[in-house]
Structure 1
Amino acid sequence: MELKLWFSFLLLNVIYDVQSQSASKWIANMPTNIPVLQGSCVVIPCIYTYPKPTSKRILNRWKGFWMKGKTIVSTNIPKWKLTEEYKKRTQFLGKLQGRNCTMLLDAVRPTDVGPFYFRIEMPQYKSFSYPNTVTIDVKSNPEPPSMSVRVYDKVTASCSVTHSCPTILPRFSWSHPGSVSSRSKKLNTWQWETESTLTFVPQTTDSNMPLSCTVLYRGGKRAKSSIIISI
């Protein structure tokens, strides 16, 4: 649901700004570089615009291609046969008629650095390869999660991470039993934050003991942080 709301936000805000400022130009709005954890996924946000056609012909066909050199990485054309390198690893999320060219790349590999660019083909109009590109900074290991703890009548501990994979969120586990809740929010067009909160009633045996949070990412990578409980 959050991913759908995010797309709606992009369409209502970014595309309006791009079109209103440059309705007569070929422009693609996308990040230039995205850090991604190896094995995880990344959603590359993309909004494009094009000059208004002088012909009165109605545009009703759009073919979109994400490219790496001459290799097609992803497309909105059903049953298109991608190379083995990208087969079943990409998904064209954007609706081209809404000028959204967003793509998902899953199971990110060290070779998935790019640069990637977007090409649009409109049979009733023109075709264009946008010159700006997206590169991916593939990280071998995740950063330790950020932790905080508050002690009153209860212990409330929080553990959070940032990531690029809103479709498959990180999973959290704690070294102490208790009530656990989680939330996720969008920080910008390509980065998300997911947080887990643990609440429990402390015992005397918990004093000065470490409390650990372990995060499991899409692809199997793990990261762990600990904090000492002072009661």
Structure 2
Amino acid sequence: MKQEPGQRHKLKYKRVLLKLSGEALMGDKGYGIDPTTVEYMANEIKKIVDIGVEVAIVIGGGNIFRGVEASVKGMERASADYMGMLATVINALALQNALERIGLQTRVQSAIEMRELAETYIRRRAIRHLEKGRVVIFAAGTGNPYFTTDTAAALRAMEIGANVICKGTKVDGVYTADPVKDPTAKKFDEISYIDVLKKNLKVMDSTAITLCMDNNLPIVVFNIKKADNIKNIVVGKKVGTIVKG
């Protein structure tokens, strides 16, 4: 898609880290990957690549395996977390396939070496891919047990110099309580990192929030299911909730 003259200069965020949960890929199914949902995600990502945004993605694995839940049921935590990391690789490959089918150059970089499937994560190479207009999907979390994919998203965003973390969820922002369970829950248009931590709001885990706070990296929480939301965020429209200092 050809860009209009000056279109790049209208972007509020030039390089974004998109954080997707594994659950976001399963659509209305209770488990696994829904091809129609993955295709929708790919088309939403293409909209921002087409206007000159550099896109990196961190994806969870909760639609296949959740390490924390398995460890609660008796599995040794480190082993359970490694299994969760492998689930994120499956999701990354599914998303890569959907993106490449609609013409986007994509690279999967894994924090755990698996050369037949993905590149090993190398920061400089990831940045070079972004500069060349390729979508980079970071798989296998941080490569370490006990760290969530939220923390991986914050870490990778910092490493690649992203301007913002866009966290796609099932709701349209951050609320005082779960809006699905509590109809009186109020939505925040803007909230500080400290308030997120104090109120124990489930935006991202506390390690990820603290990392973003220490490095002054904004987080936009938005509804991934609403078309054009990501595009509206990068051009500066008010969408969801922004978490910042």
TM-score range relative to shorter protein? under 0.3
Higher helix proportion:
2
